[in-house]
Structure 1
Amino acid sequence: MKQLQRTSRLRTAAVGALTVCGALVLSACGSDDNSGGSGSETSKAAGNISCGGEGKLLASGSSAQKNAMDVWTQTYQSACDTTQLNYKPTGSGAGIQEFLQGKTAFAGSDSALEPGEVAKSKKVCKGGQAVDLPMVGGPIAVTYNLEGVDDLVLDAETLAEIFDSKITKWNDPAIKKLNPDAKLPSTKIQAFHRSDESGTTDNFTKYLNTAAPGSWKHEPAKAWAGKGGQGADGSSGIATNVKQNDGAIGYAELSYATGNDLNTVKLDTGAKEPVEATTGNASKAIADAKVVGQGKDLALELNYKTQAESAYPIVLATYEIVCDQGNKKETLAATKSFLKYTASEDGQKALAEKGYAPIPEEIITKVRSTIDGLK
């Protein structure tokens, strides 16, 4: 019964989780029917796509958007079969480096470019520079596996001390205080973090540093800086390790939690009720974001300290990073065509069905305008 209740709750949080395809060539994922929608829905969306270019389009980076990329690529290539898109979910840090080395047409990153990276991009973007285009939003779910506990509430301070190895047992007084009715065992906490440089880690630690500065002293970064814990490669690695180990806790995008049938932590944010990690709750936090990028750059500033009712504050925005000018002639048409689709109404609508939060209309409108002007 508990298992059925947990499954029902998670499916409410995000309808139809995707199966994570291990292939690097996303077109090969189509045979696993990761679309989650009917063939007619895919065909309808594909019919609205304006194709451009042909050949291979290489991209890499954020694993957070991997499930979104699977859906987008399946739909896009059903309409544009002359373009083969290869997206490697190598992690944000690796994706940015490959882009700056001129190996890819665009990169996916869960963190906006740093000033030094923008400066380096001018060598690749002849006559221009790289810009951040927010394309995917969503909650970073704190997943856990604890026998006998299917409903768990934590706050920023407690999370910070768990992931910094200051709280090491599940029956710690701080956790008991937040969960007075739960039967918490003395099981050792196994905290899993990303071993690769990750924008998910950057956003998660920004939340800890912003919402619990007294408990999390480390500067936010793509590379993990907390004490202790165990590393795992990619969001899929986090989800797999949490699922396999009683007493485990980790952080990953919501689609990885739902896809692996994992419990997720509710956050005590100071609102009247603890907040669950859902697409709708994340959208309320993302809607509070501000564009802080200059010119064509659309980097966002997220509000990790929101106490608004039902607003889930551990969120991220994944950017597609591309040259505003100086894109390679052989891939420019395909790049613009694909990104136009992902930013379109159809492309954004597909996200909500997969555990992601569409980018707010005011922001995505600016993204579409910038894509139209890519050169």
Structure 2
Amino acid sequence: MKLFKVIYILAALVIAANASSKVEIDACGASFPKAVYADWIEAYEAETGVHISYEPTGSGDGIVSAVKRASDFSGTDKPLLPWRLERYELTMFPAIVGSIVLAYNIPGIGDNELKLSEEAIAAIFSGRAEFWDDPRIIKHNNGLKLPHEPIKVAVRSDGSGTTYNFTYYLRKIDYAHFKKATKLFDWQADTIGAKGSSGMSKTIEETPYTIGYVDFSSKKKHHLCSAVVENREGKWVLPTLQSAMIGAKYANLDKEKDFFGVIAYQEGKSSYPIIATSFILLPKERKAKNREIIKFFEWAFSNGEYIANKHGFAMLPEETMEDIRDYWSEKVL
């Protein structure tokens, strides 16, 4: 069945194959998956000659660009509700799954040495835990010498899908202090604003006693330390590729609802709780260009797993990718 769908999609896509000897695709949006997209694009261009430019301007800008038709496709980590897609004549599908890690810079504390419970995480990001030796943090870190230093919380200053997914998670663990998931949050903690995933990573890297939220690939690139966190089942888990894949397995992304859904805080004893899906937005009316874009994502779904895994991202479950191919046939091509 899968082979038939792939053949059908490729047959539909071949209509535009000879429309131009040089295909150019301009895109922008979510910075969360930028490392994966950059390597996918490089490999795809080497194989096909198609040039794709993807600027990681943030999910907020990605959504605006999609609405204004300022790009051929847009990336966003904040999904749009079906009625909004209808209003702006857009289609949307998920592309990749990744972890959001709690990265810290505490002199003397190494990678994966710090444990953060749900109680501690909520206290830090709500501003109720002001020092690193707060009892809520010390409780699960008896072997660490946590200093009596103010906690500096790094947050995104731009409209960020990563912030949206992280505040969604915070809302799940502490609704009293985080009543809304949003791309720009009114933080009550002592915060340092940073633009983009790279800006966040550099801020944490350069500022002692800081903690913030970044994608797993940024943690790896900047050699940041990240916390072991308590998951929904009360188990301690690391942000690994395997734990992200386990969490993604429980996600419910419904084709009939344009795949709208936030997958953080999933069940599973080994699930990492702060995971996110990155989505692609396409304008309905640009059929010819959309065919070229779908060719790229079909290639990525079929050939891009090694690249995604290298950056700590997980591919979507096979059944979800099958639903996406159906969605392309029904709504995009």
TM-score clears 0.5:
yes
Determine the structure 2 residue equivalent to 1:340: 298
1:301 Cα deviation after fit:
4.2
* Residues 1:362 and 1:305: Cα distance change in structure 2 (over 3 Å): closer
Rounded to whole Å, the distance in 2 between the matches of 1:279 and 1:93 is 26
1:224 Cα deviation after fit:
2.0
Rounded to whole Å, the distance in 1 between the matches of 2:174 and 2:226 is 20
The DSSP-based 3-state class of the residue aligned with 1:267 is strand
Determine the structure 2 residue equivalent to 1:326: 285
Rounded to whole Å, the distance in 2 between the matches of 1:119 and 1:161 is 39
Q: How many residues align?
A: 313
Alpha-carbon contact 2:74-2:280 (below 8 Å) kept: yes
1:178 Cα deviation after fit:
1.8
Match of 1:230 among 157, 173, 192: 192
Determine the structure 2 residue equivalent to 1:186: 148
Rounded to whole Å, the distance in 2 between the matches of 1:293 and 1:155 is 34
Rounded to whole Å, the distance in 2 between the matches of 1:120 and 1:105 is 18
Determine the structure 2 residue equivalent to 1:163: 125
Determine the structure 1 residue equivalent to 2:76: 109
Determine the structure 2 residue equivalent to 1:133: 93
Determine the structure 2 residue equivalent to 1:125: none
Rounded to whole Å, the distance in 1 between the matches of 2:249 and 2:298 is 22
Mind listing any 5+ residue stretches in structure 1 that lack a counterpart? 1-48, 123-129
Rounded to whole Å, the distance in 1 between the matches of 2:261 and 2:319 is 12
Rounded to whole Å, the distance in 2 between the matches of 1:367 and 1:168 is 45
Residue identity over aligned pairs, in percent, reads 27
Rounded to whole Å, the distance in 2 between the matches of 1:194 and 1:115 is 27
Mind listing any 5+ residue stretches in structure 2 that lack a counterpart? 1-12
Rounded to whole Å, the distance in 2 between the matches of 1:103 and 1:328 is 16
Match of 2:308 among 333, 347, 351: 351
Rounded to whole Å, the distance in 1 between the matches of 2:264 and 2:217 is 22
Alpha-carbon contact 2:169-2:265 (below 8 Å) kept: yes
Alpha-carbon contact 2:197-2:214 (below 8 Å) kept: yes
Is structure 2 residue 122 aligned with structure 1 residue 154? Answer: no
Determine the structure 2 residue equivalent to 1:61: 29
Paired AA for residue 131 in structure 2: K
Determine the structure 2 residue equivalent to 1:299: 260
The DSSP-based 3-state class of the residue aligned with 1:138 is strand
Alpha-carbon contact 2:251-2:266 (below 8 Å) kept: no
Is structure 2 residue 87 aligned with structure 1 residue 90? Answer: no
Is structure 2 residue 314 aligned with structure 1 residue 363? Answer: no
* Residues 1:55 and 1:305: Cα distance change in structure 2 (over 3 Å): closer
Rounded to whole Å, the distance in 1 between the matches of 2:84 and 2:120 is 34
1:328 Cα deviation after fit:
5.0
Runs in 1 of length 4+ with deviation above 4 angstroms? 270-273
Alpha-carbon contact 2:232-2:265 (below 8 Å) kept: no
Alpha-carbon contact 2:232-2:266 (below 8 Å) kept: no
The DSSP-based 3-state class of the residue aligned with 2:145 is coil
With the length of structure 1 as denominator, give the TM-score of the two structures.
0.79
Rounded to whole Å, the distance in 2 between the matches of 1:238 and 1:301 is 22
Rounded to whole Å, the distance in 1 between the matches of 2:39 and 2:239 is 22
Where in structure 2 are the equivalents of 1:200-279 lying within 5 Å?
A: 200-214=162-176, 216-227=177-188, 228-269=190-231, 271=233, 273-279=235-241
Alpha-carbon contact 2:109-2:144 (below 8 Å) kept: yes
Rounded to whole Å, the distance in 2 between the matches of 1:305 and 1:339 is 26
Rounded to whole Å, the distance in 1 between the matches of 2:255 and 2:148 is 47
